[in-house]
Amino acid sequence: MRYRMHVILLSLCLIKVAWPLPQGAPTTACQSMVPFHGGIQPQAGISPYTVAPRREGNKVVVTLTSGLGVPFQGFLLQGRTPDGAILGEFDSSTINEGHPLDCAEPADSITHNSPNDKSSINVVWTPPREYEGPVIFNATIAQAYDTFWVGIESNLVPITKRGANDPTFNFPTEPSSRTPPNFVPYQPKQSSTEFDPFYDGCAVNKLCFGAPADCVSSKSCKAVVGVIVTGDRYDFELKADSNAAWVGVGLSDDDKMGDDSVIECVKRGNGVAAYMSYTTAPNYGAPRLANPQLGIQLLNSSLVDGTIYCKVRRDVSTNVNGRFYDLVSGKYNLLIAAGSSVKPNSVSFHDIVYLASAEPQALADVSALAAKSKLLIRLHGCFMLAAWLGTASIGILLARYYRQTWVGHQMFGKDMWFAWHRTFMVLTWALTIVAFVLIFVELKAWSGENKPHAILGTVTTILCFIQPIGAYFRPHPGTPKRAIFNWLHWGIGNAAHIVAIVTLFFAVKLTKAELPEFVDWILVAYVVIHVISHLVLSVMNCVAERSGENRITSFPMKDLGGSGRTSAYTDRNPDAPFSTFRKFILAIYIVIVLIIVIALIVITALAPIEEAWSNLKSSVTNRN
């Protein structure tokens, strides 16, 4: 009998410990806002609940709710100054689900009356009569005894002294951030994500992969996925920055997009929805399944300052569009992507970021996952820059303005200008063809981006390809068809160069290029230098043409309609007037173009250059 009484008493004690504080939070939780729930730690993920203040005159109406409709059982709510001091007074008579708690002053906090499920709480808060300045409302909200979030913040609320004629302000419903456990007073927000809780556990107890490459280590991903495996439960956490309307992760058999199973998290109103979709090739679409919730369950999500977060549990085994996915025994490449817009039944193009992992890996393996190499993309960009900003520009300038320069000097049996022109244009042809082949080897399909870069690049390559063929079969000087060749050669060459420059401008906007916006201004600088050089040299030719005895025998535009430049080859006159000045202009032009080309090649090779520069500074700082 005595033994049974001990068992009963022990059971009652355990029940009391496990019961989620029916009378609300005690005063011992006032400062830290951390409830004592048998040693259970607060949730590390982003809270599904919001603290939304709405100012009405000298008072503030504070609403605790969930944009996803998730009920909660307990709460503790306080108003604090930016340095963490508790202030103000709650009017508990406005609700029947809470009562005041005296922490620093009477009724300066409010907590729940019972552990019954609540969909939302509205309460009126009054500031001290003489207080003027910002207030932040902080809440601890318990979804259940073992699931609670600590220090959920509202936006800043400006408070003026009582009695002022204040207007009514409406504040966003999303909280500005979530404070970590053991409440820390408000501090100005920084752009750095160094303390982002999403990255806690990466490479320790969860597999993390984000874009751009190597962003997980610096905690600066534009889009990131974390895979947490607990027994037979596979949970996918997804997050994207405030510019994104959606973020998704694909499971792929290779490092290419197409025929992949995708979990996508999409902004929907003030919340986030999760869907299953399937990528198609070669148009890179991602239509949702007929049953878009097939095999997935949304566990948690939030939309804080526009940042998407969701946690989705996926079934271990799923059959998607006839393909079987086994998360236990299968190895997959991860594809992470984010975009700025959505369609009614699918996401739009991943215009913010896209990255594939280099090798397939078991999802339970938490070791670092390397990104797919972008070497071919980088080489494509570098070769095109070298060809059309460098060799083509110099070769065109030589052919147009330097036919009567270095007269009497030859290289490989040809006039100096022609030998160098041919050398530079052969390099242009070779670099362009190689770059064109490289990008198709990389993509193995037509570009999926809805931008004219791919079309214009193809036009440039075709014009470049046929130009030397026409030059090889050019008629001899003095023949009737020479004028036709002159016009065609001039027109095709200049058209290819102009289209190529326009194509480079469109390349700056490509997601895969990862180029900073200021590259546009470097390209503009090149165009200005190129145009000014042509104008100066054209004026010099016009002046030289009128100089009398030493007339230029090969003024370019004038001679295009002629049968040939016979005099240029038979009359070996001295260099045309202003030859030294033309050489000086050419030297300056080559130096400036070389600087521009080298700068753009470095930016392209190290793209995204912002992350490369940030990593370099961090490395130097750590060494010091």
How confident is the model over 1-26, as pLDDT tens digits? 454 444 444 444 433 333 445 567 88
Of the pLDDT bands very low, low, confident and very high (cuts 50, 70, 90), residue 34 is confident
Do 389 and 504 form a contact (C-beta atoms < 8 A)? yes
What's the chain's average pLDDT? Answer: 81
Which residue, chain included where needed, has tokens 């302000």? 169
Domains of the chain listed by start with CATH number:
16-170 (2.60.40.4060), 198-362 (2.60.40.1210), 375-613 (1.20.120)
**Which region among 164-173, 428-437, 524-533 has the lowest average model confidence (pLDDT)?**
164-173
Average pLDDT rounded to a whole number, residues 327-355: 90
Of the pLDDT bands very low, low, confident and very high (cuts 50, 70, 90), residue 585 is very high
Of all residues in the chain, what percent carry a pLDDT higher than 70? Answer: 82
Average pLDDT rounded to a whole number, residues 579-595: 93
Alpha carbons within 13 angstroms on the beta-carbon side of residue 118 total 25
**pLDDT value of residue 17:** 37
> What CA–CA distance (Å, rounded) separates 150 from 123?
19
> What CA–CA distance (Å, rounded) separates 334 from 343?
23
Helix (H) or strand (E) holding 495: helix 482-507
**pLDDT value of residue 614:** 55
Of the pLDDT bands very low, low, confident and very high (cuts 50, 70, 90), residue 28 is confident
Average pLDDT rounded to a whole number, residues 443-459: 79
**Which region among 89-103, 550-564, 584-598 has the lowest average model confidence (pLDDT)?**
550-564
Q: Is residue 89 over pLDDT 70?
A: yes
All residues at 6 or more sequence positions from 277 whose CB lies less than 8 Å from its CB, including other chains: 248, 262, 264, 286, 287, 288, 289, 292, 346, 347
**Mean pLDDT comparison of 111-125, 141-155, 319-333, highest-scoring range:** 319-333
With b for 16 or more beta-carbon neighbours within 10 A and e for fewer, the 523-547 pattern comes to beebeebbeebeeebeebbeebeee
> What CA–CA distance (Å, rounded) separates 459 from 513?
20
**Mean pLDDT comparison of 13-22, 373-382, 422-431, highest-scoring range:** 422-431
Q: Is residue 533 over pLDDT 90?
A: yes
Q: Is residue 565 over pLDDT 50?
A: no
**pLDDT value of residue 554:** 44
Tokens standing for 262? 């995708």
Q: Which residue, 212, 205, 252, 197, is CA-closest to 227?
A: 205
**pLDDT value of residue 612:** 54
Which residue, chain included where needed, has tokens 């190529």? 500
Name the more confident of 87 and 166: 87
All residues at 6 or more sequence positions from 609 whose CB lies less than 8 Å from its CB, including other chains: 515, 516, 602, 603
> What CA–CA distance (Å, rounded) separates 540 from 544?
6
**pLDDT value of residue 534:** 92
**pLDDT value of residue 566:** 41
Do 519 and 589 form a contact (C-beta atoms < 8 A)? no
User: How far is residue 506 CA from its own chain's centroid?
Assistant: 17
Which residue, chain included where needed, has tokens 């009356």? 113
Q: 69 in the Ramachandran plot: left (φ > 0), alpha (ψ -120 to 50) or beta?
A: left
All residues at 6 or more sequence positions from 617 whose CB lies less than 8 Å from its CB, including other chains: none
Do 166 and 160 form a contact (C-beta atoms < 8 A)? yes
The stretches of 100-190 forming alpha helices (DSSP H) are none
